Amino acid sequence: MIVDAIGRVIDRDYGAEDVEALLTAEGRDLEELLGAAREVRDRRFGNRVFTYGFAYFSTHCRNDCAFCYYRASNGSTGRYRKDPDEIVDLACRLRDSGVDLIDLTMGEDEAMRRNGFEGFLDIVSRVDEAVDIGIMASPGTVPRELMSPLREAGADWLACYQETYDRGLFERIRPGQSFDIRRDQKTWAHEAGLLSEDGMMVGIGEDPGSRALSVMEMGSLGCDQVRAMAFVPQIGTPMSSRVPGSPEDEIRAIATMRLMFPRRLIPASLDVEGISGLMARLEAGANVVTSIVPDASLSGVAQHELDIGNGNRSVDHVFSVLGDCGFEPASPSEYRRWMDSRRGILT
Q: How many CA atoms lie within 13 A of 55 on its CB side?
A: 27
- 338 burial level (CB within 10 Å; 0-12, 13-18, 19+): buried
Query: Pattern 141-180, binding to ligand MD0, x per CB under 6 A?
Result: ------------------x---------------------
71 binds, among ligand SF4, ligand MD0, ligand SAM, none (CB under 5 to 8 A by kind): ligand SF4
Q: Binding segment for ligand SF4 among 3-11, 57-65, 111-119, 263-271 (CB under 6 A)?
A: 57-65
Is 140 a binding residue for ligand SAM by CB under 6 A? The answer is yes
Q: How many angstroms separate the CA atoms of 67 and 331, rounded?
A: 35
140 binds ligand SF4 (CB under 6 A): yes
Residue with smaller CB distance to ligand MD0, 2 or 112: 112
Return the one option of ligand SAM, ligand SF4, ligand MD0, none that residue 327 interacts with (CB less than 5 to 8 A, by type): none
Pick one of ligand MD0, ligand SAM, ligand SF4, none as the site partner of residue 103 (Cβ within 5 to 8 A by kind): ligand MD0
Q: Please state the closest distance from residue 23 (CB atom) to ligand SAM, in A.
A: 18
Does position 58 interact with ligand MD0 (CB under 6 A)? The reply is no
d(CA 38, CA 45): 10
User: From the list 14, 50, 52, 67, which residue makes contact with ligand SAM (rule: CB under 6 A)?
Assistant: 67
What residues does 87 pair with on adjacent strands?
Answer: none
Nearer to ligand SF4, 59 or 287 (CB): 59
Residue type, 304: H
Q: Which residues contact 217 (CB under 8 A, 6 or more apart)?
A: 162, 165, 183
Task: Report the residue from 14, 45, 54, 338 that binds ligand MD0 according to the rule CB under 6 A.
Answer: 54
**CA–CA distance, 220 with 190 (Å, rounded to integer):** 13
d(CA 38, CA 285): 5
Among 142, 134, 93, smallest CA distance to 290 is for 134
CA angle 31, 33, 35 (to 5 degrees): 65
C-beta nearest to ligand SAM: residue: 302
In angstroms, what CA-CA distances link 196 with 68, 81, 97, 245, 340? 22, 25, 25, 25, 13
Query: Between residue 68 and residue 107, which ones bind ligand SF4 under the rule CB under 6 A?
Result: 68, 70-71, 107
Q: Which helix (H) or strand (E) holds 317?
A: helix 315-324
Residue from 287, 290, 299, 314 that binds ligand MD0 (CB under 6 A)?
A: 290
247 binds ligand MD0 (CB under 6 A): no
Binding residues for ligand MD0 (CB under 6 A): 54, 103, 105, 138, 159, 267, 269, 271, 290-291, 300-301
- Which residues of this protein are in contact with ligand SF4, per CB under 6 A? 61, 63, 65, 68, 70-71, 107-108, 140
